[in-house]
Homo-oligomer: A and B are copies of this chain.
Amino acid sequence: MATIRDVAKRAGVGIGTVSRVIASSGPVSADAASRVRRAIEELRFRPSHAARVLPKGQSQTIGVFVPLVHGAFYTPILHAIYTALREHGLHMVVDFGQTLETERQDALAGAEFLTDRGCDGLLIMATALKSADIEHIAQLQPKFVLLNRSVPHFRANCFSPDHQAAGAAAARALCAAGHRRIAVIEGPARSSDNRLRIRGFLAALEECGIDPDGVPREHGDFSPESGHAAAEALFARGRTFTALFCANDEMAIGALAAARHAGIAVPQDLSMMGYDGIDLAALTAPPLTTVLIPWRQIATHALQRLLNLCYGMNLPVASDVPAQVLNRESVARIA
């Protein structure tokens, strides 16, 4: 591989001049510049990223951690981050979870990996992080933002939907449609975002005069398959409910399939509500009524805050984009 010295020699100039041409900084005569450019081309010279980062101390790269690579939930979020980054001429390195025991360990390991890689800042999407973990990350790399997790001490770095309010909105919509006997498929007990939305959901149910303790509940892991299994478990207990709230759309898709398989018509026999508002939820049979969480916007704001932090930019940052129920066809009014 050709180095900057090779280029300098070939162009008959010093390395300083070559560097100036590449960075187009500082004065260079037109003649020298063209000779350098020719030499670069002839030698197929490409500056080494590592050698460049070393003296500069900046890599123009943001590290992103995302808990898993599977399904359709994370990709639009990644896409939003990626395109926003590209608009600023910045790059992204992604790390994924699901290699260690817990999401928490994955996220911590991810933060370390991305920091070691010389990322200028970190965007971490992880719900299972404890306060102490976040302190740890802050020491590793003070320039970071959290997505889908909110802790008091780092409020300004946290960007999360208000899951409790969104969960409550789901419950109110179901009550308003006349449902009194409602079942729930939750996500993993570990994930704080799941806990919050279920808490909000049950609290709002209570406000509507429904006893939260009487609500049949099953756990899934947010995957469609787990939603399918959880719905079957629920049906096996005897169907005493007229509506089913799923803690995310992917589990709802699984639950929909389970209902179809069990001969339960949605929404005639059973209403179903999802959560997140993934694109696919518009194409289920029937189209899924869901709580639309503005993930793309939230992610974009988190990123913009991070860029302000890292590069002294002045991008607008909003931290509360409200969720709302998106009425489609999977919830029926009952008497």
Binding site for B on A (CB under 8 A): 44, 46-51, 53-54, 59, 68-72, 74-76, 78-79, 82-83, 86, 91, 93-94, 96, 98-99, 112-113, 115-118, 139, 224-225, 228, 253-254, 256-257, 260, 279-280, 282-287
Instruction: List the B side residues contacting A253 at CB < 8 Å.
Output: 280, 283
**Cross-chain contact A116 with B54 (CB below 8 angstroms):** no
- Which chain B residue shows the least CB distance to A261? B287
B74–A75 CB distance below 8 A: yes
Q: What are the residues of chain B within 8 A of A68 when measuring CB–CB?
A: 79
Closest Cβ of chain B: how far from A265's Cβ, in Å? 11
Which of B46, B112, B224 contacts A115 (CB under 8 A)? B46
Bound-state Cα–Cα, A119 to B117, Å? 12
Asked if A93 and B96 make an inter-chain contact with CB atoms under 8 angstroms apart, the answer reads no
Q: Are B69 and A71 in contact (CB under 8 A)?
A: no
- Contacting pair A75 B70 (CB below 8 A): yes
B-chain residues with CB within 8 Å of residue A48 when the two chains form the complex? 54, 116, 118
15 residue pairs bridging A and B, Cβ less than 8 Å apart: A47-B116, A48-B54, A49-B118, A50-B51, A50-B53, A50-B118, A82-B96, A94-B94, A224-B283, A228-B283, A253-B283, A254-B283, A256-B283, A257-B282, A285-B285
In angstroms, how far is the closest chain B Cβ from the Cβ of A209?
34
Taking the nearest CB of chain B, how far is it from the CB of A253, in angstroms?
6
A48 CA to B116 CA, complexed, in Å? 6
B93→A44 contact, CB < 8 A = no
Contact A44 B76 (CB under 8 A): no
A75 x B71 contact (CB < 8 A) = yes
A49-B116, A116-B49, A257-B285 in contact; A224/B70 too (CB < 8 A)? Answer: no
B75 pairs with A257, CB closer than 8 A? no
A63 to B95, CA, bound (A): 13
- State whether A76 touches B82 (Cβ < 8 A): no
Do A260 and B279 touch (CB < 8 A)? no
Task: For the complex, give the distance between the alpha carbons of A68 and B79 in Å.
Answer: 8
- Per CB-CB distance, the 10 closest pairs between chain A and chain B, nearest first, are A285-B285, A72-B72, A257-B283, A50-B53, A69-B79, A50-B50, A69-B78, A69-B75, A50-B54, A86-B99
Which residues on the B side are within 8 Å of A47 (C-beta)? 116
